[in-house]
Amino acid sequence: MAQRGAFIVFEGCDRAGKTTQCKKLVDALNRKNVPTEFMNFPDRSTAIGQIINDYLQKKIHLPDKAVHLLFSANRWELEPKLREKLESGISLVVDRYSYSGVAFSAAKKGMDLQWCWNPEIGLLEPDAVFLLNLSEEAAAMRGGFGQERYENLDFQKQVKENFMAMKSSSWKLIDADKSLEDLHLEIMELFNKVYTTSHGTPFKRFAS
């Protein structure tokens, strides 16, 4: 049986460069013959993902708790796919995961961190979380927000605080305010360490 792949999650506020770095990492690893795939959450291609997409684009309104559970359901519907890929030896680089789910929802009034965390319990736990951290000043230099829900400065500040509150020892806090290439090299180095230590270890799942 193939040794399982590594499961890496990128988190961070909008405009931190997550998607670009995820894709650079995936390309570099595949060039080195480390089979790796990119995934992202929310996955807007599923039926649940399409409702989330309509919500984010402000085409529909949903109560905060209901949309929170849809984001979580979107991860649960893809859990078998993630597990099968990892079991077959493919490493996964995932752009946002449960931590975004909690950090964004808990930034809303009346939503507490533990309530938000509960539906995530039992999902696969990543081997490492790379949290791309960008100062508000540097983020502002990268241009304005788009039209989607949550794209405003005060909300993003609260999201950042929530990420920091959830941060544990398996998280790598990465200063994203550097060139694309420097950031990529740092991420490659971190990935190599995680890959070596996660190989052959059993999956972990989120506990309470």
Residue nearest ligand TMP, Cβ-based? 101
| Nearer to ligand TMP among residue 87 and residue 145 (C-beta) | 145
Q: Which position among 5, 17, 101, 126 is part of the footprint of ligand TMP (CB under 6 A)? A: 101
CB of 3 to ligand TMP, least distance (A): 28
**Site for ligand TMP contains 56 (CB under 6 A):** yes
Angle between helices 98-105 and 153-166 in degrees, nearest 10: 130
CB of 111 to ligand TMP, least distance (A): 11
CB of 197 to ligand TMP, least distance (A): 26
Neighbours of 11 (CB within 10 A): 25
Distance between CA atoms of residues 4 and 122, nearest Å: 19
**Site for ligand TMP contains 104 (CB under 6 A):** yes
Q: Which position among 10, 71, 163, 195 is part of the footprint of ligand TMP (CB under 6 A)? A: 71
Pairing of the two strands 36-40 and 91-95: parallel
| Nearer to ligand TMP among residue 87 and residue 151 (C-beta) | 151
The site for ligand TMP, by CB under 6 A, has a size of 10
**Site for ligand TMP contains 150 (CB under 6 A):** yes
| Cβ-based burial of 34 (10 A; exposed 0-12, middle 13-18, buried ≥19) | middle
Distance between CA atoms of residues 182 and 80, nearest Å: 35
**Site for ligand TMP contains 42 (CB under 6 A):** yes
Question: Rounded to whole angstroms, what are the CA distances from 163 to 11, 34, 50, 135, 173?
Answer: 8, 29, 26, 14, 11
Site residues (CB under 6 A) for ligand TMP? 14, 41-42, 56, 71, 96, 100-101, 104, 150
